[in-house]
Amino acid sequence: MKVLQITNVSFTVKKFLLPLVDEMIEQKYDVHIACYKDEAGYEVEKDGYVVHHIPFQRNMNVFSHFKSMVALVKLIRKERFDIVHSHTPVASLVARVSARLVNVPLSVYTAHGFYFHENMKPIPYKINYWLEKIWAKYFTDKLFFQSKEDYELALAKCFQKPENLIHISNGVSGNRFNPELYSREKSRESLGSNDEKVIIFVGRLVREKGIVELIEAFHLVLNEIKDATLLIVGDSVTGDRDGMNVEQLIQSMPFETKERIQLLGMREDIPELLCAADLFVLPSYREGLPRSIIEAMAMGKPIVATDVRGCREEVFPDVNGYLCKAKDSNSLADTIIEILKDETKLKLFGENSRRLFLEEFNEKVVLERQMKVFNQFREERSLNKRPRK
């Protein structure tokens, strides 16, 4: 059975989709990938995966989306895929229409976080809401949801029949993200942070991740905790609409602040970096069900995040961290200071994060939920294709 996994950019494939692709290949599916193939895409291709270049653009240019749809329709017709599984908002809109035009038997969409959210202005909210609802109802067979809030909204608003809405959650590998496998001392030594309070952020360097508020808040934190260090891990990726020059922002800060910020760029050693940290922070304006928080939980870290969809499903106040106001540097700084000044909370919240990860966010369970749907479809197709006696 042939499957096409579709997403905007190859960064998403490399960082998030390969566990599912690997699981499908392991279970004897013929899996192809379609995305805007940049450097990360060629790296994935070199590892033996089949990657097709489709010129997806993350903008409102209708002509560019039409061009992507034409290329995608040609690919689907040529390869005759049984399943088209799309991810990310823009690519999924194009992919699901393309799948319908070619009569693909099963069109699946994973909502990694609906683009509309409670902090949006009314008109953009309504536009994005109706796009998601119309595409769900008329161009999608099965919807997977990482966020339970998204799932419950889609269920209540009748986006699709209840049996076609599936909450899969999100997860990471408990084998890789395991604090027992790494040395905190060696990790901190490599960063030059032996005796300091280390705060870490991991994510795309875009405005909606709260980078501006994070750096402003860190400046305020230093007034109370002189030995604090901030690690910023990540970069912007191809097609980001609100990418920003974080290095320039850091350089605009007072000397004593910028000297205590390490801008580390894209890294492959995320477990080691998390091992070195005392506190994980994610001050996003919107999220689906953030994988970065799950990674930090798996490594036994207390969390500070904004009170937005997704984060609320992973961070439980006074259990494994705190939630603060979005777009509010003062609220973020106060919350960070409260945790870092209390060694008992740091230890307890970290232990609770690891426990919650093992109970709720193990990647194996998330993959099983998706494969159950695909395997059921494969079995039904196989039965329908058998000649009658």
Query: Along the 389 residues of the chain, how does pLDDT read in single tens digits?
Result: 999 999 999 989 998 999 999 999 999 999 999 999 998 899 999 999 999 999 998 777 788 899 999 999 999 999 999 999 999 888 999 999 999 999 999 999 999 989 888 878 999 999 999 999 999 999 999 999 999 999 999 999 999 999 999 999 999 998 899 999 999 999 999 888 777 899 999 999 999 999 999 999 999 999 999 999 999 999 877 555 666 789 999 999 999 999 999 999 999 999 999 999 999 999 999 998 999 999 999 999 999 999 999 999 999 999 999 999 999 999 999 999 999 999 999 999 999 999 999 998 989 999 999 999 999 999 999 887 654 43
Q: What is the pLDDT of residue 195?
A: 77
What gap in Å lies between CA 151 and CA 139, rounded to an integer? 17
| Sheet hosting strand 279-282, strand order edge to edge | 261-265, 228-233, 197-202, 279-282, 303-306, 321-324
- For the chain, what is the largest distance between any 2 Cα atoms, rounded to a whole number of angstroms? 81
Q: What is the pLDDT of residue 241?
A: 63
| 4 neighbors 21 (Cβ within 8 angstroms) | no
| Sheet hosting strand 30-36, strand order edge to edge | 50-53, 30-36, 2-9, 83-87, 106-111, 142-145, 165-167
**Would you tell me how many other CB atoms lie within 10 Å of the CB of residue 131?**
15
| 261 neighbors 215 (Cβ within 8 angstroms) | yes
Q: What is the pLDDT of residue 240?
A: 59
What does the block give as tokens for 305? 């995040």
Q: CB burial class (10 A; 0-12, 13-18, 19+) of residue 374?
A: buried
Rg (CA), the chain: 22
Q: What is the pLDDT of residue 389?
A: 38
What does the block give as tokens for 302? 């207390």
Q: What is the pLDDT of residue 99?
A: 97
Q: What is the pLDDT of residue 322?
A: 97
Q: What is the pTM of this model?
A: 0.86
| 74 neighbors 102 (Cβ within 8 angstroms) | no
Q: What is the pLDDT of residue 245?
A: 87
HSE of 140, CA atoms in CB hemisphere, 13 A: 29
What gap in Å lies between CA 80 and CA 364, rounded to an integer? 29
- Which residue is associated with the tokens 């979005």? 326
**Which three-class secondary structure state does DSSP give residue 159?**
coil
What gap in Å lies between CA 291 and CA 294, rounded to an integer? 5
Q: What is the pLDDT of residue 388?
A: 41
